[in-house]
Homo-oligomer: A and B are copies of this chain.
Amino acid sequence: MGVIVQKYGGTSIATPTLIKSVANRIVATRQAGHEVVVVVSAMGGHTDELVGLSREISPNPSPRELDMLMTAGERISMALLCMALIDRGFDAVSFTGSQAGIVTDAAHGKARILDIKATRIRASLESNKIAVVAGFQGVAPTSSDVTTLGRGGSDTTAVALAASLKADACEIYTDVDGIYTADPRRVATARKLSRVNYEEMLELAASGAKVLHVRAVEFARNYQVPVHVRSSFSQEQGTWVVQEDKSVEQAIIRGVAHDASEAKITLQRVPNRPSMAAKIFRALSDATINIDMIVQNVSSAGSTDVSFTVPESDLVQAESVISDVCREIDAPGYDVDPNIAKISIIGAGMKTHPGTAATMFEALGDKGINIEMISTSNIRISCIIASKDLDAALNAVHDQFALGTLGDTSLASGETLSEVSEGQLSRPSQDPASKKADKRGE
């Protein structure tokens, strides 16, 4: 049997008791005949503790030293997990990001994996050891400094290792039991999906589904790594994130995602001259503010309103940039609305189903919910609404597409997953008809 990579998040290993129960699960996988590589996060709460310490020292800590600090977290959890495995009679060995050969660029706090030199991990598997690897961290060869991949980076470590080791699967253990058609805390009829394809998962993650990190999904898609998102607190199957299976009919809509953490800024009566948009968004980009949606409507009076959304955490800084820009481009002013939410529907099937957007807008309209902004990709439609309407909107859209009752395409028991092929960088081939420009009835 082949290699299984298992990733355990902070809540799954928050206490010594939980660490011992995770050890039992790893042992069971090993006893089923698999070679096991484990990726761990810091123990739940510990990362926040370390961030708290750094804030007591400095309002703006050195990025290199912040990375040095943060990487203490996985060091603790991985050593404890190895102790528990060795206690159960299984040889186990822990590796820091550097020891595991996770080579990154030198961007502290948000480093990108450039290469994985898994020599030591392979050697430990060959000598029948369980390899336990620190998630979230790497080493930048240019400086020999320790780097981190940013929050959620442990998912990326796990998927990247699975790709490099040509693992049969990458299991992401977390505190929820899979990907749902909507957030079950807000939509009572939400249903767990047994299967999602990479493109859909990318859009779900980017639209606010927090279960899996966007960069991890990109890695999984690029290297065709089958990912299994499941709970560390039960034995149930979770959700498989895999390549689209052309032979099975696609669901039109796979799920509804939401994000209530953004704010909307509208610049009023921006003069209708070339390069106005460039000026606005270059200034925001120079201040490293992430923009999500942008909407601009041409108005008749020689000027236009430009709206965009930013994370609420960047709002203060964005306002300061925008008030400068307004003076520069002769716009009379701007409005800010922090009380907004984004609701998105995602599904590969909408590429071939015109009218999907209209159906969504009708569902919202029927409940008297006003749509403030609209944005689309080829498999996603997002609307900005007032945050007070979010729960009503989620339930209305979820019902309208009958997501709580529709069967989704399940993996038949024993079905073989497509094999992982390292270095296969091509994206899954797309239906040439399914371009962003195709009609959806808007």
Residues of A within 8 A of B (CB): 16-17, 19-20, 50, 53-54, 56-58, 60-62, 64-66, 68-69, 71-73, 75-76, 78-80, 82-84, 86-87, 92-94, 99, 120, 144
How many copies of the chain does the oligomer comprise?
Answer: 2
Contact of A53 among B50, B80, B94 (CB under 8 A): B80
Q: Given contacts A75-B72, A76-B69, is CB(A87)–CB(B50) below 8 Å?
A: no
Docked-complex contact A69 and B80, CB < 8 angstroms: yes
Docked-complex contact A82 and B54, CB < 8 angstroms: no
- Determine which residue in A54, A83, A87 has the highest number of CB atoms from chain B within 10 A of its CB, and name it: A83
Contact of A16 among B56, B78, B86 (CB under 8 A): B56
Contact of A20 among B57, B68, B72, B86 (CB under 8 A): B57
Chain B residue nearest to A60 in the complex (CB) = B87
Docked-complex contact A83 and B62, CB < 8 angstroms: yes
* Residues on B with beta carbons closer than 8 Å to the beta carbon of A66: 79, 83
Give Cα A50 to B19, complex, Å: 14
* Residues on B with beta carbons closer than 8 Å to the beta carbon of A94: 64-65, 68
Docked-complex contact A57 and B69, CB < 8 angstroms: no
- Secondary structure at the A interface, as helix, strand, loop or mixed, is helix
Chain B residue nearest to A19 in the complex (CB) = B57
Docked-complex contact A87 and B20, CB < 8 angstroms: no
- Determine which residue in A16, A61, A62, A79 has the highest number of CB atoms from chain B within 10 A of its CB, and name it: A79
Docked-complex contact A54 and B83, CB < 8 angstroms: yes
Give Cα A73 to B69, complex, Å: 10
Contact of A50 among B76, B84, B92 (CB under 8 A): B76
Give Cα A92 to B84, complex, Å: 37
Contact of A71 among B20, B58, B75, B99 (CB under 8 A): B75
* Residues on B with beta carbons closer than 8 Å to the beta carbon of A71: 75
* Residues on B with beta carbons closer than 8 Å to the beta carbon of A20: 57
Give Cα A66 to B76, complex, Å: 9
Q: Given contacts A71-B75, A76-B72, is CB(A65)–CB(B86) below 8 Å?
A: yes
Task: Say how far A65's CB is from chain B's closest CB, in angstroms.
Answer: 4
Docked-complex contact B69 and A75, CB < 8 angstroms: yes
Docked-complex contact A79 and B68, CB < 8 angstroms: yes
Give Cα A99 to B120, complex, Å: 19
Contact of A68 among B58, B60, B75 (CB under 8 A): B75
Docked-complex contact B54 and A80, CB < 8 angstroms: yes
* Residues on B with beta carbons closer than 8 Å to the beta carbon of A120: 144
What are 17 A-to-B residue pairs whose CB atoms are below 8 Å? A16-B53, A19-B57, A20-B57, A54-B79, A57-B87, A61-B83, A64-B93, A64-B94, A65-B86, A65-B92, A65-B94, A66-B79, A72-B72, A72-B75, A72-B76, A72-B79, A75-B75
Task: Say how far A27's CB is from chain B's closest CB, in angstroms.
Answer: 14
Docked-complex contact B53 and A76, CB < 8 angstroms: yes
Chain B residue nearest to A88 in the complex (CB) = B58
* Residues on B with beta carbons closer than 8 Å to the beta carbon of A69: 75-76, 79-80, 83
Task: Say how far A12's CB is from chain B's closest CB, in angstroms.
Answer: 15
* Residues on B with beta carbons closer than 8 Å to the beta carbon of A144: 99, 120
- Determine which residue in A16, A73, A80, A120 has the highest number of CB atoms from chain B within 10 A of its CB, and name it: A80
* Residues on B with beta carbons closer than 8 Å to the beta carbon of A19: 57
Task: Say how far A97's CB is from chain B's closest CB, in angstroms.
Answer: 13
Task: Say how far A266's CB is from chain B's closest CB, in angstroms.
Answer: 38
* Residues on B with beta carbons closer than 8 Å to the beta carbon of A86: 58, 61-62, 65
- Shortest beta-carbon contacts, A-B, top 7: A16-B56, A69-B79, A68-B79, A72-B72, A61-B83, A72-B75, A65-B82
* Residues on B with beta carbons closer than 8 Å to the beta carbon of A82: 62, 65, 68
Contact of A65 among B50, B65, B83, B99 (CB under 8 A): B83
Chain B residue nearest to A87 in the complex (CB) = B58
* Residues on B with beta carbons closer than 8 Å to the beta carbon of A56: 16-17
Chain B residue nearest to A55 in the complex (CB) = B16
Give Cα A56 to B65, complex, Å: 30
Give Cα A69 to B42, complex, Å: 12
Give Cα A332 to B341, complex, Å: 85
* Residues on B with beta carbons closer than 8 Å to the beta carbon of A72: 72-73, 75-76, 79
Task: Say how far A146's CB is from chain B's closest CB, in angstroms.
Answer: 8
Give Cα A79 to B94, complex, Å: 22
